[in-house]
Amino acid sequence: MNTLLAYIQGDATYKVLSKEESIYEPGLLNFEHNCEFAEGAELDDDEWFKLECFNEKPYFLPLLEEDIAAAQYNQLPEDRYADITYLVAIQDNGNTFCFQRLTSQSVLKRKLLSISQAPVIKKLEKTIFMEDLPHAVYKKDERCLYFKRLSTITSVFLGIDDLYREATQEETACFMASPFMEEEGQIEQDKISSANRKRLHAAVEKLSHLTPKQQNKILDYIHKYKSDIPYNEATKKYSITNNTELQFFLWGIEERYFSTIAKREKRVARSILKLR
């Protein structure tokens, strides 16, 4: 038996329905093409991000360890559907947990025109649109979570946004006061974009694992590929004055610049994927 549950934040988990057929088409839940989650990585249409040993993460849900029995949950009251935070479908003999986040826009009230010999306009009331693919899937036997976009599951797995969060004010201030940064003329911290704060957090994490010699190599590498970013070669200090310069500088810390083999054309990788 396959079960669909609904979680309402600040309340409880309820049963929606149980059925013999799979709630999500098993043939669409193909995770053969997957990659480890990384900041800035982009997926092909048939790919999924993968988080291994998910049961050891701080944002793991206790629900995922349970043997689900629909009878242990109260039926979701009809007047609470608009309050649902997310749906979770348990199928494949309790091995597969499929999550779909819901928002205030998920409960639809629309008019539909039926296509037939005698067309009729039908009005839908309290209809929830369920997507063909869930936003995240947990495989209990693999202890792995698969997902497409991190932003769609942050309300399901609270704290998972730490995988790609913005740098704090303290982290930002510390980074902009680094030995390789000029003290004067820098971009004001409150002007740094959200996207750059996320890149900055990743850069801080990477630099913390590099030796001073490796950090110097990175700085020279950035200047080699982006000489238009203000740089004092004598002091080996950068002056970042706007978000565009900061974006290209942070890409350099991530080592996204490269030259093609044949024509030595300089390029930047907008998306990166680690090779196995």
Q: Please report the DSSP string for 127-184 in residue order.
A: EEPPPSS-SEEEETTTTEEEES-GGGTTTTSTTGGGGGPPPPHHHHHHHHTSTTB-SS
pLDDT for 8 equals 95
pLDDT for 82 equals 87
pLDDT per residue as tens digits for the range 157-215: 999 988 888 899 999 999 999 999 998 889 999 999 999 999 999 899 899 999 999 99
pLDDT for 114 equals 84
Q: What are phi and psi of 274, to 5 degrees?
A: -70, 135
pLDDT for 163 equals 86
Kindly state the helix (H) or strand (E) to which residue 91 belongs, with its residue range.
Answer: strand 86-91
Domain ranges of the chain: 2-162, 169-268
Q: Which residue has the tokens 């291994």?
A: 52
CA–CA separation, 85 and 99 (whole Å): 10
pLDDT for 233 equals 84
CA–CA separation, 14 and 138 (whole Å): 19
pLDDT for 145 equals 98
Extract the residue ranges of the chain whose pLDDT is less than 50.
none
pLDDT for 31 equals 95
pLDDT for 124 equals 74
pLDDT for 43 equals 87
